[in-house]
Structure 1
Amino acid sequence: MTTSTHPLVSSDNVNGTDVYGRDGAHIGAIDHLMIDKASGKVAYAVMGFGGFLGLGEDYRPVPWGKLTYDPVQGGFVTDLTEAEVQGAPERHDRWYDDRDWERRTHEHYGVPIYWI
């Protein structure tokens, strides 16, 4: 990801950006973003966790409010733990169309709901 001081970034520059824990340990990378069509707000970063060379990787939507860009790291930083991610509400085929699932997910992660 570019470390420009400009406040906007193209989504194609976010995809693939590393995500680190507060301790600096690499915990995953952003695969793609989910954007609310009505508001234009980024709702989720779908992150890849685990795996090796793309094999066995688990993809999980994480509320955008759990990530903070750190120009020193050149990536995003979060206080997420593996247990917190694994304990998130289980996804289904149309999770992105299910406000109840989204509400439970935001409550699980302790972040404000983006559409309110």
Structure 2
Amino acid sequence: MQTSGQSLISSNDVNGTNVYSPAGDKLGHIDHLMIDKVSGKVTYAVMGFGGFLGMGEDHYPIPWGKLRYDITQDGYVTDLTQEQLEGAPARDADWYRNRDWEERTHRHYGVHPYWM
């Protein structure tokens, strides 16, 4: 989907962008992106939600394929529910280096793995 005549966006502009349910309810915001070093593809948007003024906020890596940009909301929309986010596979400090975790996460969210 294009906006302002171009479809490219800086990762700086993606960070902080709100994430909504299809009904328009705010689920959280994008804290940062994870990018595959070899292919250059965005693999995950790490979504922050909950907490107050950044304290106590939870972070959940969402496969990039589960988000679509909606120009009317100036944010990303996902069909994921709060329960799916909270029920996602547990992660540790090295979750992004653990292919088993990635496989379980992609199955949990019902999205094709980016590396296949």
Q: TM-score, normalised by structure 1?
A: 0.95
Matches within 5 A, 1:51-66: 51-66=51-66
Provide the residue aligned with 1:18 in structure 2. 18
Q: Distance in 2 between matches of 1:45 and 1:104?
A: 17
**1:48 aligns to 2:48 (yes or no):** yes
Deviations 1:73-106 (Å, cap 9, x if unpaired)? 0000011111101111100110000111101100
Deviations 1:25-82 (Å, cap 9, x if unpaired)? 1110000000000111100000101111112110111100110000000000011111
Secondary structure of the structure 2 residue equivalent to 1:34: strand
Matches within 5 A, 1:33-112: 33-112=33-112
Q: Distance in 1 between matches of 2:13 and 2:4?
A: 11
Q: Distance in 2 between matches of 1:73 and 1:115?
A: 30
Q: Which runs of 5+ in 2 are unaligned?
A: none
Provide the residue aligned with 2:27 in structure 1. 27
Question: Which amino acid letter does the alignment assign opposite residue 8 of structure 1?
Answer: L
Q: Distance in 1 between matches of 2:57 and 2:29?
A: 10
Secondary structure of the structure 1 residue equivalent to 2:9: coil
Q: How far is the alpha carbon of 1:5 from its aligned partner?
A: 3.3
CA RMSD, Structure 1 to Structure 2 (Å): 0.8
Instruction: State percent identity of aligned pairs.
Output: 64
Number of corresponding residues: 114
Question: Which amino acid letter does the alignment assign opposite residue 95 of structure 1?
Answer: W
Secondary structure of the structure 2 residue equivalent to 1:102: helix
Question: Which amino acid letter does the alignment assign opposite residue 58 of structure 2?
Answer: D
